[in-house]
Amino acid sequence: MKIAVLGGDGYCGWATALYLSKKGHAVAIVDNFLRRQWDHELGAQTLTPIRPLSDRLRIWQKVTGKTIELFVGDVADYDFLESTIKAFEPDAIVHFAEQRSAPYSMIDRKHAIFTQVNNVVGTMNVLFAIRELRPQCHLIKLGTMGEYGTPNIDIEEGYITIEHNGRKDVLPYPKQPGSFYHLSKVHDSHNIMFCCKIWGIRATDLNQGVVYGTMTDEVELDEALINRFDYDDVFGTVLNRFCVQAAIGQPLTVYGSGGQTRGFLDIRDTVRCIEIACENPAKAGECRVYNQFTEQFSVLELARMVEAAGKKLSMNVEIDHLPDPRVESEQHYYNAKHSKLIDLGLQPHLLSDSLLDSLVNIAVKYRDRVDASLMLPQVNWREPRNDRRLQKSMTARATLGGAENSDVQTGKTKR
């Protein structure tokens, strides 16, 4: 198949592009390097050293003999997207090209509006491009389990059967998003469902849990292909933060009581889920929704798992509780269904089998790159504002370049 990976320079996109390329598909990466620019803005960097995308693609071709095409530009720019779709003619579009951080969307008005415009307009452009240029193309869109929130009933996969006043219907599952980012994903889901219904396009909406891990079989071919490991307070995941804090001897910072429960999955399962969706496309006019995670844990359970893993490595790991900067339930019911991808052949990797190798050991290996000041929460849901640390970091690092971020692009889009 010809598969376009939008946002292919990012965490999930990079692993997916390599995986699909290795499987023999013709792959194109579409990216504008905004993710790298956000590192500059926040004064942060991934724990692992990320090479420029041009270097990554050159090394990939060298070690595998396979070429991945590159289109540099913004999906929110319809002229660029139109020219890209015309040139590559994809059979499937994997859409990762969105601002994906809840804290980033909650910094202030500017960041909230940017997140909504970037994500919703970009997805709208993709939908119109499919309708006008590739009506048989299958859209595989990365959603999020955060769209559902934490209802006091079981979470179904996208739809729920409702009986009311003697009548029954199947309706989209109610959404209770917890940030402006999650709201943008809800808007995406509604727009996709609507376009499938009125235009007959085909789409799979993957409501993904929190992803962990840097290593896949493809990344292991060369260290220059290594994936991101974000641990900062804005883009980092709670599990990554705990592993880095353990590696540098800092207490694990649990927000509130730590009962917040979410779904998790290994990056190797992410790429396999994308492959399953590609191999089993939705029907014309169908908007499928799969809940894409394999296990669920509370924040405190994760902290205790990292504590136990650290002790095996002779680390003195402590757990600390901080006031929760988010507006969320710290104790709640959580039971989300996630059987459809397993029924289609997903064989999950479990966190208990990979925590030491994939996370803690990598945090230890690269701990000299850790900036300990980046892990305490700076964004408060209750007080949106221009965060002083972010402003200071933006100014201080505005002129930084270097090999690690030399693919940052500004100005006009290009191929």
| Rounded alpha-carbon distances, angstroms, from residue 170 to 69, 156, 187, 271, 292 | 41, 11, 19, 30, 21
| Rounded alpha-carbon distances, angstroms, from residue 96 to 47, 179, 278, 330, 357 | 21, 18, 15, 29, 27
292 and 273 in contact (C-beta within 8 Å)?
Answer: yes
Is 185 an active-site residue? yes
CA–CA dist 332, 390 (Å, integer): 32
Q: Could you tell me which of 221, 264, 257 has the C-alpha nearest to residue 239?
A: 264
CA–CA dist 366, 141 (Å, integer): 32
Q: Which of 173, 181, 212, 255 is catalytic?
A: 181
**Cα angle, residue 72 at apex, residues 13 and 111 outer, rounded to 5°:** 70
CA–CA dist 400, 186 (Å, integer): 36
What residues contact residue 31 under an 8 Å CB cut-off, 6+ apart?
Answer: 6, 7, 8, 9, 10, 13, 53, 70, 71, 72, 97
Q: Which of 144, 214, 261, 294 is catalytic?
A: 144
CA–CA dist 274, 7 (Å, integer): 14
Q: Could you tell me which of 110, 129, 113 has the C-alpha nearest to residue 184?
A: 113
Question: β-pairing, 138-144 with 92-95?
Answer: parallel
Q: Could you tell me which of 9, 59, 16, 8 has the C-alpha nearest to residue 39?
A: 9
| Rounded alpha-carbon distances, angstroms, from residue 286 to 119, 124, 131, 364 | 22, 17, 14, 46
User: How far out from the chain centre does Cα 127 lie?
Assistant: 20
| Rounded alpha-carbon distances, angstroms, from residue 247 to 140, 216, 231, 250, 391 | 36, 22, 12, 8, 28
CA–CA dist 273, 108 (Å, integer): 34
Q: For CA atoms 399, 76, 33, 71, give the dihedral sign.
A: negative
Is 144 an active-site residue? yes
Is 181 an active-site residue? yes
**Catalytic site positions:** 144, 181, 185
